[in-house]
Amino acid sequence: KNEDKQIVVWLPTILINSKKELDLAKKVVAIVLADTPQEVIQLSKIDVNEAENIRRYYNQNNVKRALELISDEIMEEMLFYGSAEDICSEFAALGRHGIHEVVFGPPFGRDIQSAIMEISRTWRENL
């Protein structure tokens, strides 16, 4: 029965407080795209040709060029990122759209423990 099914979303989650963390987020997107089957990319809003270009440059160790090709739209499809408030807002919106569980996935940010604490605190304060 469809009523018995649970919908779970897992995406990398990165707290962005600096340009270095934005660069980390783009690297995560490149890594995830490099491992994502084309069939899955086709189910997303990501242009398959853009994804292939990013994947090709990344796999050729031209990470700088791969990161230059990652748009905000691709970032939004591939991970949760932004301020703690932005991330918590995204989580809450998923719940309103029938998602039963959100897996708050690594790498979280440059300072993992601090990022987890900040996002968790923001979630608790805004429930």
pLDDT score, position 29: 95
The pTM score is 0.82
Which tokens go with 48? 């398959």
Domain segments of the chain: what residues?
2-125
Predicted confidence (pLDDT) at residue 4 exceeds the cutoff of 80: no
* pLDDT tens, residue by residue, 22-42: 999 999 999 999 999 999 999
